[in-house]
Chains A and B, each alone.
Chain A
């Protein structure tokens, strides 16, 4: 009997709680940009890792656990992007010659195609460090973005700047809380090599002029080891072997308006310390397209863009795009094929 009765009981299904993320910043009223990071085509393991690293970097306004299938095409993502308010796509793809990162503005924004010359994963970076740092709330706030070296007047660079500035929510310096500034994304353009260094750092503030011992004591909540000391006052007065980077240059110190944590008081000066948290990439801008992975080519690193654009205007098909790209590189072909699939579907 019990068995039958149990049959009536339906299994408990945990209701799916949709954590509503605001589309609009509640203070400034700006629209918050959101992003998808996904791959086009099959990626090898290390690049898949890079993809997850990028997702982490784009937190909190991104789909961390975006599940993609092989048959998903760009249109699928685009269809989802609309209702969810996703404004940017970051697409990773891989060819024989190199890996590629495409940054696109949805729904019809321009697409920047970067060639990834070198990359290191967050794991590699952490492994290379003696003490990798990852506080709990590191990824709870969007990173700041610093773009440097882009300002030499080239249009495509300007577009890149705007693109990356808008990929993260803008900060209002009147209302921003410095405690929410935990990470920084640095894009440094090198004029000579035409490559962009992509780095991701965590920001840490340390009070200046306090001995290391005291700082640790305040930070760690732990009873210090006083065995070797004659008097308690020794603990404070003794210099100890403070780290020599203590002698900070004045440039790296800031004065805070409000207390930040227990260590950094508003009255004291604090030193800004950055520590790298992956991923690390060396990018080269090779192509800018008008549409989302389609449309006229505004800028191309290889060859003149005008001829291609005309071709594309004549027949707005991706096959043509592929033809136009042939002289650039074989990878360009695959990229456009991806787009082509979407268009056909």
Chain B
């Protein structure tokens, strides 16, 4: 597995960094770490660096690792996994080297050195790693992560330690929201109580009301017609005409009364009954008698006598009539 992937990759993209460490000319800086390019980098350089630089690297690595103490354990794990792969990798390297037909000895030496170094690194220092190995390790780790099928959880990827807590929190939120929603709904219901959307058509009741209203309007319009017909062609500002108008108005009004005796009767009856009641309970019905209404003189004595009503309430008649017979 490892071999195949490793072999195939350089053929595909020799320019890629992670692969280029074997054949590419880019690796001028890397030989320090990799020691795999003896043709370009100095042969002895790596060994020299080994001693001095290793310490430096270790030191750096230690410093680096010391920072995140918690992460240490996590870091160890993938490394141990990769060690198996590393073995295979190195063997393949050696084979390749042989095939390449470079100086066997040197290559072997280097390879050996690399191995020993690697071992040392693995055992002593977890922080130091060959670049290729790092790449490889990362690749493996990444692959394993990608391969891993994550169960479809509503919570999403959460650290296991927090999983329970988050779930609890979410559940709590959910219930809270539910309660809130219900409360809101209830409130809305209370607010909308009595609010009715009217129907698209006229039902019998609406039709009846419409008829009543129409009747009222017709009555008023007819009354207005009659009253205004009487004073047609006369100028109310002239005193002579004014007198005539007054007379005609009276006539028209009385004729109107005579025509609708029901109306007159009703108003009369109303007046009598109301006056009788007022006499009976006088103070209890005070506001009716006192001038609690508009202070206009016309409305003041609305319950006194039918005759006065007739005389005074010219303006009100239409409304009264419409109100009384329905």
Contacts and interface: CB of A to CB of B under 8 A. Distances in A.
Q: Do A and B bind each other?
A: yes
A170 B315 contact: yes
Most buried by A among B200, B205, B228, B229: B228
A174 B210 CA distance: 26
Contacts of B216: 144, 146, 148, 184, 186
B324 A151 contact: yes
B97 interface: no
Contacts of B16: none
Contacts of B221: 178, 181, 254, 256, 272
A28 B213 contact: no
Contact of A172 (B210, B213, B314): B314
Given A30-B296, A162-B302, A254-B222, A172 B194 contact: no
A155 B270 CA distance: 11
A173 B197 contact: no
B146 interface: no
A241 B319 CA distance: 37
Interface stretch (A12-20, A55-63, A119-127, A133-141): A119-127
Contacts of B179: none
Nearest to B249: A174
On chain B, which size bracket covers the interface?
A: 35 or more
Nearest to A168: B319
Given A153-B273, A155-B288, A251 B298 contact: no
B197 A272 contact: no
A279 B183 CA distance: 29
A146 B213 contact: yes
Interface string A140-157: 000011111111010100
B214 A274 contact: yes
Nearest to B221: A254
Contacts of A109: 287, 292-293
Given A87-B294, A148-B216, A174-B228, A197 B319 contact: no
A188 B195 contact: no
A298 interface: yes
B319 A147 contact: yes
B199 A128 contact: yes
B43 interface: no
A194 interface: no
B218 A174 contact: no
A316 B214 CA distance: 46
B190 interface: yes
Contacts of A261: none
B323 A147 contact: yes
B225 A119 contact: no
B296 A176 contact: no
B217 A44 contact: no
A158 interface: yes
B323 A31 contact: no
Majority secondary structure, A binding face: mixed
A166 B294 contact: yes
B209 A188 contact: yes
A124 to B, nearest CB: 5
Contacts of B284: 298
A214 B293 CA distance: 49
B261 interface: no
A116 interface: yes
Contacts of A99: 193-194
Contact of A128 (B194, B198, B296): B198
B191 A46 contact: yes
Contacts of A184: 213, 216-217
B249 A148 contact: no
A108 interface: yes
B132 interface: no
Interface string A23-60: 00000101101000000000011110000000000000
Given A105-B292, A109-B287, A257-B229, 5 more contacts: A30-B296, A45-B191, A124-B198, A173-B314, A290-B286
21 contacts: A30-B294, A30-B298, A44-B190, A45-B191, A98-B193, A118-B196, A124-B196, A144-B319, A147-B322, A150-B323, A173-B220, A173-B223, A173-B227, A174-B231, A181-B217, A251-B215, A252-B218, A274-B213, A274-B214, A276-B210, A290-B287
The 4 residue pairs across chains A and B that have the minimum distance between CB atoms: A44-B191, A146-B216, A148-B326, A147-B323
